[in-house]
Amino acid sequence: MTDVSISGDFDRPAAVLWMAIRDFCGIGRWLPGIQRVEAEDGGKRRRIILPNGGVILEQEVARDEAAMLLTYTVIAAPMPFSNYRSTMCVESRGEGCSVRWSATFTPIGPEDKVARLVGSLYKAGLKGLQSVVARNAGETL
């Protein structure tokens, strides 16, 4: 198994970031490279449609509102990994917060290459969250 963890600091309260992250099927609002997201199973499963027509199917497996923590697994994806489990966690830091996005998975192919791919997706996602938070300053996400 391979572990990847990326963190980012935000100058907004943790509750603001949690509102964006806790919306499991709202990932298309802040993660680049998504054409659309279709909610299934009452919003506990998301079908992510990629611009090339590829489909990623993910299932929410745990949510802790008090700890601001969301865990999901990838059921199917055109990606070089299996047994993928990921957690996003928001932690207060003074006036702002930190978001940690981590995963454990079995790489299909060179471990370092697959780990870099997942890390780059997470970095793009945190950058997307930064943009959404900046655009929506003063508003509820």
Ordered by where they begin, the domains of the chain are 2-23+63-135 (3.30.530.20)
C-alpha span between 27 and 46 (Å, rounded)? 9
Q: In sequence order, what E strands does the chain have?
A: 2-10, 36-40, 45-49, 55-64, 69-76, 81-93, 96-107
Q: How far is CA 98 from CA 9, 13, 74, 94, in A?
A: 4, 9, 24, 10
Supply the pLDDT for residue 137: 62
Q: What is the dihedral of CA 105, 48, 137, 14, to 10 degrees?
A: -30
Consecutive sets of 10 residues in the chain, 141 residues long: mean pLDDT of each?
A: 97 94 95 96 96 97 98 96 98 95 97 97 96 70 47
Length of the chain, in residues:
141
Q: What is the pLDDT of residue 134?
A: 81
The structure tokens 């923590």 sit at 69
Q: What is the pLDDT of residue 135?
A: 78
**DSSP summary character for residue 75:** E
pLDDT per position as a tens digit, 25-45: 999 999 999 999 999 999 999
d(C-alpha 88, C-alpha 102), whole Å: 7
pLDDT value of position 138: 52
Model confidence, pTM: 0.92
